[in-house]
Chain A
Amino acid sequence: EVQVVQSGAELKRPGTTVIISCKVSGYNFNAYYIHWVQQAPGKGLEWMGLVDPKHGETIYAEKFQGRVTMTADTSADTAYMELGSLRSQDTAIYYCTMGIPGGGSYFFDNWGQGTLVTVSS
């Protein structure tokens, strides 16, 4: 059974950095890209970017470019998302999820439980 477990809730001051971990088990960690999705309180889903665990390649959404870094540690089967220069608008739940091939493209399956990041002074 595939399991995806994220690190716990964080309270951060504006201007600081948060690092969220996403540990996976039950499958070959190198096999699928890991994606990160932001959900602000009461709002919809926003794709932040992806990391290829096997090669370390990343693609980031323009909105987060320059502030976000996504990495993967294959020895620990864990992906990380680092978001810096935090501001109150970054208060959100952050999810990691796997990009699964299907129908000629990819869909998101096996989501983490989400990590609430609160940015407040």
Chain B
Amino acid sequence: DIQMTQSPSSLSASVGDRVTITCRASQTINVFVNWYQQKPGKAPKVLIYAASSLQSGVPSRFSGSGSGTDFTLTISSLQPEDFGTYYCQQSYSTPRTFGGGTKVEIK
């Protein structure tokens, strides 16, 4: 199974800050990484697919990059509504695996 290791596990940042979350795969997975945001009590929502493609309707302050084993989700200017937990997920092979999550709090 492909392991997805996310860091940090949590962060606290101020509105307007640039936030970066990283995800490392245990083997090369091309660009087959997706990023999700989950708010308390809600289902996850896809933000980025195939490492860098912005899902329709998602604000442009979210961006993704990377290929091979190292991937990054960036929020260019953190907004109050961006609190929640973010997960990476590989779609290279089954079982589809998720990272452990990064909890983002607003200072």
Contacts and interface: CB of A to CB of B under 8 A. Distances in A.
A44 B101 contact: yes
Contact of A95 (B1, B31, B43): B43
Contact of A35 (B55, B92, B96): B96
Contact of A107 (B46, B94, B98, B99): B46
A46 interface: yes
Contacts of B44: 45, 95, 108, 111
Interface residues of B, number: 28
Contacts of B100: 44
B98 A45 contact: yes
A114 interface: yes
A32 interface: no
Nearest to B53: A103
Contacts, number: 69
Given A44-B87, A45-B44, A45-B87, A102 B50 contact: yes
A108 B46 contact: yes
State the majority secondary structure of interface residues on B. loop
Interface in B79-107: 87, 89, 91-92, 94-101
B21 interface: no
A107 B1 CA distance: 18
Interface residues on A, range: 20 to 34
Given A44-B100, A59-B94, A95-B43, A105 B32 contact: yes
B92 to A, nearest CB: 7
Interface in A76-109: 95, 97, 102-109
Given A103-B31, A108-B34, A113 B97 contact: no
Given A35-B96, A47-B95, A108-B36, 5 more contacts: A44-B100, A45-B98, A62-B95, A106-B91, A109-B55
Interface of A: 35, 44-47, 49-50, 59, 61-62, 95, 97, 102-109, 111-114
**What 6 A-B pairs have minimum CB-CB distances, sorted nearest first?**
A103-B50, A111-B43, A107-B49, A105-B91, A107-B34, A47-B96
10 contacts: A44-B98, A44-B99, A62-B95, A95-B44, A103-B51, A105-B32, A105-B49, A105-B92, A107-B55, A109-B46
